[in-house]
Structure 1
Amino acid sequence: MQNNGDVKILGSGECGGGIYNEVKICGSGDIKGDIQCNELKILGAGDVSGNVKAKEIKISGALDIDGNIEGENVSVSGALDIKGDINCNYFKIAGAIDVDGNTKAEKIELKGAAEISGNCEAETFTSSGVFEIGGMLNAGDIIIKLKGKNTVEEIGGEKIEVIRNSDTTFGKIFKFSIAFGSGPSKLECQTIEGDDIYLEYTKAETVRGKKIVLGEGCHIENIEYSESFNMSKDSKAESIKQI
C-alpha cells in the first residue's frame, strides 16, 4: 500500500484510513478507517473509526478508538477510550484509560487510572495509580503501590508485592474523574496466586503461593502455602492450610 506522507490537523478536520509516516492532531480530528503509521500524536481530540497500528503512540489529549491498538510504545498522559484490545511492548499510563477488551504488553507502568474490562497481561506490571480490571492480571513481576480502591478478579504472577502508598498526589489530581478509585487505599480480589507474595491492605477470598507474607490491613478468607507463611497482628485470615 502507498505511504501517504504526514497528516497534521491543527483546527477541525478529518482524513481517511491508510498508511502514513506521522499523524498529528492538535485540534479536533476524525480518522475514518484503519490507520498505520510510524508515529501518532494526539494533542487535541481524536476519533478513529478503525484499528491503529503504530511504532510510537503519544496521547496528551483525548483519543477514542473503535478498534484495536497495536504498537511498540504507547504513552497516555491524557485520556484513551478504546473499544478493542491493546497489544504493545511498553505501555505507560499517566492519564486515564478505558479499555473494553484485553491489554497485553511486555511492560506496563501505571501512574494514572485504568479501567480494563478484560484481562491484563505483562512481563512486568507496576502501579502507583488506581485500576479496575474485570478479568485477570497476569505478570511475572507485579508491584502495586495502593492509591485509592483497586479491584481485579484474579492476580497471577511469580513475585507479587502490594503495599500502601503514602503519596496522595494522585487522588488530588484525578478525584474529579475516576469514581471507581475513590475511597481508602486497598486492593479487592477474588484469587491471588504466585510464588513469592507480600500483601498489605488486601481483601481476597483465596491467596495461594509458596511464600506468603501478610502485612498490615489484610483480610483473607483462605490461605494456602507450600513453604512459609507469616502474618501481621493487624491482618486476619479465616483459614490457613499448608499444601
Structure 2
Amino acid sequence: MRATSRPDLEIAGIGSAAGGQYHSVKMEGVCKVGDAIDCFAFKSNGLTTVNGGIMAEEQLEVSGKLSCHGGMVGGNVKLEGQVTVNGPFEADRAEMNGLVKVKGDADASDFKVRGALSVEGWLTAGQLEVKLEGPFHAEGIKSRHITVRHHGKGGLRRLIESLLPVWQVQLKARTIEGDIVDVEETTAELVRGRTVVIGPGSDIDRVEYVADLVVHPQAQVRSRLQIQG
C-alpha cells in the first residue's frame, strides 16, 4: 500500500464518522458514515451504512450487512453477507458470497458469485463464474467465459431462503453473450457465443452459436442458429 498523508478511520462497537478521504478504513460493529468514502483499503464487519459511495483503490472487504447509498468501486473486492449497492459496481476482481443487490451496472475483470445476485443493469466481466444458491437477475450478461452451476442446498442457500421465502435457484437475463457460454438453471431470451452449452433446467428462446452447440435433454431451446464469427 502506498505511503500517504491521509488519516486512517477505525470504528469498533457502535459509532459514526464523516465521509471523506482516508488511507485505511476499518469498521466493526454497528457503524454509520455520513457521506462518501474515498480510500485505499476498506474493511467492515457487522452492520454498516455508508450515506454515499465507496471507493477503495486496492482492497474492499465486507462481512455482514452493508448498505451503500451510492456506487462501489474497488480493486480486489470481497463481499460476504447481505450487501446493497445503490449505484453501479466496478472492480478489478470481485468475489460475492451471499445476497448482493446492485442498482446499476456491474463490471469486473474476474467475477465470482456464490449465492444470489441482482443487477439492475448489465453485468460485464472478463470471466464470470456463478454458483447458484438463490435467484440471479441481470438485464444482460457479457463475458468472454461464462460458467453457471446449480450449487445444491448448502448453508448459504438456507440463509438466502430465510431472507427470501419465495425464491428460485435460477439465473435470469434477457441476453447472455460470451465466447464460451456454459450454463444450467438459466432462463434467457437470447444466448450468443462461439461455443454454447445449455445445461439442465434451462429455458432459452434463441441460441446463436459460431462453432459448437450442446443442449441437455432436460433443457429447452426454442430456436437455434449457427452464425459466422
Instruction: Give 1:1-243 correspondences, 5 Å limit.
Output: 19-21=6-8, 23-32=9-18, 34-71=19-56, 72-177=58-163, 179=164, 182-243=166-227
- Classify the secondary structure of the residue corresponding to 2:200: coil
For residue 183 of structure 1, give the secondary structure of its aligned residue in structure 2. Answer: coil
- Percent identity over paired residues: 27
Specify the structure having the higher radius of gyration (Cα).
1
Render the CA deviation track for 1:58-116: whole Å, top value 9, x for unaligned: 11111111221111211111111111111110110111110110000011101111100
Task: Specify the SS of the correspondent of 1:147.
Answer: strand
Q: Scaled by the length of structure 1, what TM-score is found? A: 0.87
Q: Structure 2: which 5+ residue stretches go unaligned? A: none
| 1:25 CA displacement | 1.5
Q: How far is 1:163 from its partner?
A: 0.8
CA distance in 1, matches of 2:51, 2:213: 46
CA separation in 1, counterparts of 2:27 and 2:82?
14
Decide whether the 8 Å contact of 1:42 with 1:62 is kept in 2: no
Is the 1:148–1:182 contact (alpha carbons within 8 Å) kept by the matching residues of 2?
Answer: no
TM-score, normalization: structure 2?
Answer: 0.92
Q: Partner amino acid for 2:217?
A: K
Q: Which ranges in structure 1 are unaligned for 5 or more consecutive residues?
A: 4-18
Rate the CA distance shift 1:175–1:206 in 2: closer, same or farther, 3 A. same
C-alpha displacement at 1:167, in angstroms? 4.5
RMSD of the TM alignment (CA)?
Answer: 1.6
Is the deviation greater in 101-110 or in 23-32? 23-32
Q: 2: distance between equivalents of 1:220 and 1:200?
A: 11
Q: How far has the Cα of 1:44 moved from its partner? A: 1.3
- AA aligned to 1:132 is S
- For the residue of structure 2 that corresponds to 1:67, the secondary structure is coil
Cα contact 1:76–1:96 (8 A) shared by 2: no
